Amino acid sequence: MHRSYHRWYSPTLGRDMELLIFGHAGAPVIVFPTSQGRFFEFEDRGMVGALSEHLEQGWIQLVCLDSVDSESWYCHWKHPADRIQRHVQYEQYILNEIIPAVNQLNGNSFWMTTGCSFGAYHAVNFALRHPAIIRRTIGLSGLYDVRRFLDGYYDDQLYFNNPVDYAANLHDPEQIRQLQQLDIILAIGRDDQACWSNELLSGHLWRAGVGNALRIWDGWAHDWPYWRQMILHYIGGHD
């Protein structure tokens, strides 16, 4: 299996950023780590191994990102407006640095995003905000209402990065048309405390005419053994 490590100074974020790429070809999959997680987490937790056949066959290519959560959502000493601004810079880093860099290595245009727990928030939020780029998103045990991270603060930047809010107000026909072409898969355990946000987001999307696959597993299902099963189950579609 192809494995490559990359590090460069990000002008968008003003610091060095690291990532791992697995696989030699196939649909590029942006992998977001869990809360304050690192770029090597997906490998360390057995997710890369679980997808070994997909990688060796050239069906997918994993792009495992580092996070800046400790500088954004979890940076409690910063003003909430500065936290959300750091998150916006992270999104620009992906758009302006990660995607162009991977495009130079891999011309496959079927981009996907995925992540577990807080990584699922990142994956689904990025895909919903950029449906002209992303073709499939797989959120595993995600929370799609992040208001609690900003201590009651609310502004337009938060609104446009809080899926349960902006999905409730989808009216633009072109935006809806693009979202209708996006495969949206939300998988979570029935007893997970974030299950309600998956149901709410799914309902908002359906009411706007945007199809999605809400898959609620029995029990809790908020841990790596479940996520290894989930990613194998959904990486190819909605089954």
Reported as a single tens digit per residue, the pLDDT across 72-87 is: 999 999 999 999 999 9
Residues 58, 53, 229, 238, CA torsion sign: positive
Write down the pLDDT at residue 239.
62
C-alpha span between 57 and 188 (Å, rounded): 28
- CA 162, 198, 185, 67: dihedral to nearest 10 degrees? 50
Its pTM stands at 0.97
What are the beta bridge partners of residue 7?
A: 18
Complete domains list, the chain, with CATH? 3-234 (3.40.50.1820)
Task: Assess contact for 160 and 190: CB atoms under 8 A.
Answer: no
Reported as a single tens digit per residue, the pLDDT across 203-214 is: 999 999 999 999
Task: Assess contact for 84 and 161: CB atoms under 8 A.
Answer: yes
Write down the pLDDT at residue 186.
98
**Token pair belonging to 176:** 């809806």
**Nearest residue to 38 (alpha-carbon basis) of 13, 2, 5:** 5
**Token pair belonging to 16:** 């060095």
Provide the percentage of residues in the chain whose pLDDT is more than 70. Answer: 99
C-alpha span between 103 and 82 (Å, rounded): 31
- Secondary-structure percent of the chain, ordered helix, strand, coil, rounded to 5: 40, 20, 35
Reported as a single tens digit per residue, the pLDDT across 123-175 is: 999 999 999 999 999 999 999 999 999 999 999 999 999 999 999 999 999 99
Write down the pLDDT at residue 237.
72
